[in-house]
Amino acid sequence: MKYTHIRDLISSRYIEHEWCLIQERSIRRVYRLDRGTTPEYFVKIYDPEGPVAKLRNLLRPRTLHEADMLRHLKGCGLNVPEVVDHIRLAASSALITKAVHPCRGLHDLERQKQASVMLDMTVELLKNGFFFSDMHLGNIVLDDSDRPYLLDVYEVNPCRVIRPRHVIALFSQVLAVYDIGDDELEDALKRIGSLYESKGLAQEIRAKALHSRRRYVKKLVERCLKPGIFTHEIKGENYRAYVFMGDALDLESLLGRHVRNIAERRNVLKYQEKTQLSEVDSYCVKTYKRPGPLCSEYALRSWKGLLTLYFNGIGVADPAAVGVYEDRSSVLVTKMLYHPDLDVFFCTEFKDLCFRDKMGVVSAFGEMIGSMHALNIYHADLKACNIKVDPAVPRFYLLDTDRIEQRRFLQYAKRLKNLVQINTSIPVYISLGMRMRFLRAYAGCTGDDPVTLFQDVWRCSEKRDILYCTPEGDHVDSWRCPRA
């Protein structure tokens, strides 16, 4: 039988399998072939458009390069999917690999474990003479024995000699997303070979990682707004949504229960004309009204801001899903955070801590804000009521992410504005010593002079009232109130 489309040809050979679309781009589609309920194969199809693209794929199919690279990597002892078949039809081509099953993505792991797996994979590639220009957590899964498998290897290339530029470029992709200590980085460099043990090389890696971090994170965020490695698409009756990988939530049921919560004023966390929040099981569901004609949907803005912080390692609620309705109203779903707001914490639990623990919490808070600003990230509404704190760690989580920006350079005036927002949204009885401790920890990350910083923050704060939340409601203080 003569086939006109490559998918029809593959279907004729795998008639017992059900096709499930995993990822779709302009000329590339990835499918999973399930036998019953068990994933058995993955099919990557390249179907180019235009005469030049067709000729290029006809002469040297992209899938053939990837098939060769998978076999090469497997021969060197790296864990990659097994190549089952490579099929060509006219200018189209397809790669069929055996599914790694059962498996789990790195999204399910803590960030420290994610970083460790990524670092180990980087070392293994370089030790075996390979360079990879698309290293991110979506390209790696763990099998049932927790062995890491590299999935998408089209951007992997063998090198006759691994040079320092290869080491810097590959390691910087990992450090662009994860905060890895000096000792851990130098240990990884030693595992490659004695040629790459120098501290100077580690400094170059960090410099390149900081320079490329904004662009790299932006790329990851964009990937989360289309079906692919990080998200899968759900099309409802009157909405379209993207669900973050690792979350097997029933979105229809979740949204229905949220609507009932708002109508019955049950489990409501916030109710305003613009936004409504409610708790549904272990999720926080936030709906937004329709934006203005020239504005993007509020939930999409929050989703981008949330993921910008998430991929930079800044504490946020774990992303779950984002959806847009036909009338352009929108919804954002995250995991619930059961920690107190920072201003409420200062009014309650903070008073009962010993002096040493108080200093630890304040210093950790300063380091978190300083690290965020060192990455050129700006939060337009950085008040204490938009920050949650887990004092046991201590760790902080940012809320209201619809006005988050990661810039090429963050001006001092913007950083000062954030510091003043914090300073005027915590209770007045938090002493000057504690506030100075916060700024010293902050300056340790940004390189500012803490005394000058304190003077500037105080100059901008002294004419403003202090507004914060307590368990009884909003409270307003002035700087004339006595401090404890």
Q: For residue range 403-414, what is the model confidence (pLDDT) as tens digits?
A: 999 998 899 999
Identify the pLDDT of residue 66: 94
The pLDDT value recorded for residue 179 is 82
Measure Cα distances from 141 to 145, 309, 449 in Å: 11, 23, 44
Instruction: Determine the pLDDT at residue 249.
Output: 83
DSSP 274: S
258 neighbors 287 (Cβ within 8 angstroms) = yes
Q: How far is CA 277 from the centre of its chain?
A: 22
Q: What is the pLDDT of residue 484?
A: 42
Distance CA 45, CA 53 (A): 14
Q: Are 239 and 251 in contact (CB under 8 A)?
A: no
Return the half-sphere exposure (C-beta side, CA atoms, 13 A cut-off) of residue 14.
24
Going across the sheet that includes 92-98, the strands are 18-24, 28-35, 38-46, 92-98, 83-89
**pTM, full prediction:** 0.77
> Whole-angstrom Cα distance, residue 289 to residue 278?
15
Q: How far, in Å, CA of 37 to CA of 416, rounded?
A: 55
Low-confidence stretches of the chain (pLDDT < 50) are 483-484
* Residue 243: per-residue pLDDT: 92
- Residue 25: count other Cβ atoms within 10 Å of its Cβ: 11
